[in-house]
Amino acid sequence: MVICVTVGVSGRNKSGGDAAASSSNGGVSTSTKAVHAICTPTDYKETCESSLAGANTTDPKELIKVAFNAAVNNIADAIKNSTLMKDAAADNSTKDALDVCNDVLESAVDDLRRAGDKVGEFDATKMDEYVEDLKVWLSAVITYQETCIDAFENTTGDTAEKMKNLLKTARELSSNSLAMVSDISSILGQLQLGNLGGGGASSGRRLMSEEEEPYWTKGRLLAANPLKPNAVVAQDGSGQFKTIKEAINTIPKKNNQTFIIYIKAGLYKEHVEIPKKVNKVVFIGDGPFKTRITGSKSFAGGVKTFQTATVAVNGEEFTAKNIAFENTAGAEGHQAVALRVSADKAIFQNVAIDGYQDTLYAHNYRQYYRDCTISGTIDFIFGDSLCLFQNCVFIVRKPMDNQACMVTAQGRVDPRSVGAIVIQNSHITAEPAFLSTKPAIDAYLGRPWKELSRTIIMQSEIDGFISPKGWSPWMGNFALDTLYYGEYQNRGAGSDLANRVTWKGIQHMTQQKAEEWTGGAAFRGDEWITSSGVPYVPTLMQV
């Protein structure tokens, strides 16, 4: 990975002079005030002020961009560290972990860069939309770094600790960047600068750019009679391609036009990846019982969890309908992902996602699942995306002996991150093999994978096999005070709150709190769903 960054900023004021003037006319104190204001909401103020010390500008846009670039530089330094590369080469597991780091840290750099570009384009008429995009992307930057660290799990030697130390400053800078954009209104108020774009009040109307696809066109994608596919895949030779990979390879690089791949009925034994920047790809099958993509990579088989996915989605605005993704490694395979989604604004309708441990890796960004079925044993929905499941079915499967089952394992690590698992008007049930096992197997709604784990289950049916405690600890007292778990208006024998755990992080969910986790509120801009043609309720439902 080659990363080139320019950090220097030359700010100019309206009269043509430097934005940060010399100390003789008070410019230094003004610049210092600007840096202090920008760093006020951050958790790592010393790191923040140090990263901005040479910025020489009072322009908040430029200061934020300098902060982003500082994070880029630190991430680049971590991945290019020659000593670490040498250590990793001596051990296959460590080398594989470093490969994951290369992949995810490159994505982190991409997100920081586009966040910087977005700040440069700030417009008062789009303030809410811009801020939300920035928060989503910067949350992903933090998640990517955490994923790099996670990849070293069960490796030998001290390479994991070295990588953690190398990323320490980068993680602080990334957290600071998220804090800045999360508190941008307060920062602007302190600097008395009004707004980043200098424009007037918002008209409340979003104009369509020439490049933006009209919603009425996209809305046909998942209608009863979708548009003509760009590629047809069929194992019997009746299509243009016999494998899904072949069809994906025909998509132009950096694609930004809708590309529909119709996958006819069949069992496709291949590992499929939608590359980064190959956007707006649509998979349409003949139904989740007819069109299935299957694989069997697993952690027990020597593959890093991140790399086990049967289908990995990295391109934005991906859509799938009437199809199944599965990992057949079994409970003995331990972590074995059927679907990993590392893509913003991904939508799944009538999709089956089948596996055992770690079935669905809802990695990061924004994701929406409608009328889907997800099966598994342990942590079978995990990750740090902001993901909403509506009208879905979650099927708990029989694990190995002496194992308990957990439906969710959310992985939020930063207090300002957007990440959360939200399950609404869905059904949590179990397969017959699970229910018939004696003695009964313990099963829970979830457990905290990371310190700020956040999961909300509302207006859903929960069957009686779920433990009355509801939630399981990860290990000891880890995260019990800092997690955010809520249940609201659920039904079924497993929904009784009387004997739930009473950890500090368990929420008393009022209607007002629950409304904050509806799609319309949580996504803070859901046009990408409403324009898709997929059924969607942005509010609480009548149940």
Report the half-sphere exposure of 487 (CA within 13 A, side-chain side). Answer: 21
Those residues with Cβ within 8 angstroms of residue 199's Cβ, 6 or more apart along the chain or in another chain: 123, 124, 125
318: phi > 0 → left, psi -120 to 50 → alpha, else beta; which?
A: beta
Q: List the end-to-end C-alpha distance of the chain, in Å, as a whole number.
A: 51
- DSSP string across 454-483: EEEEES-EE-TTS-TT-B--SSTTTTTTT-
List, in sequence order, every residue forming a beta bridge with 283; answer none if it has no partner. 261, 320
Amino acid in position 323: I
3-class secondary-structure state, position 173: helix
Question: At which residue do the structure tokens 């300002």 appear?
Answer: 416
The DSSP secondary-structure symbol of 394 reads E
From residue 503, how far is each of 336, 471, 481 by CA, in Å? 30, 10, 6
How is residue 345 written in tokens? 């604004």
Amino acid in position 379: D
CA 359 to CA 427: how far, in whole Å?
17
Angle at 299 between CA 150 and CA 267, to 5 degrees: 125
CB atoms within 10 A of CB 170: 27
Of 379, 384, 414, 526, catalytic: 379
379 as an active site residue: the answer is yes
Is residue 70 within 8 A of residue 42, CB to CB? The reply is no
Cα 129 to chain centroid distance, Å, stands at 18
Q: For the chain, state the CA radius of gyration.
A: 24
Just list the catalytic residues. 379
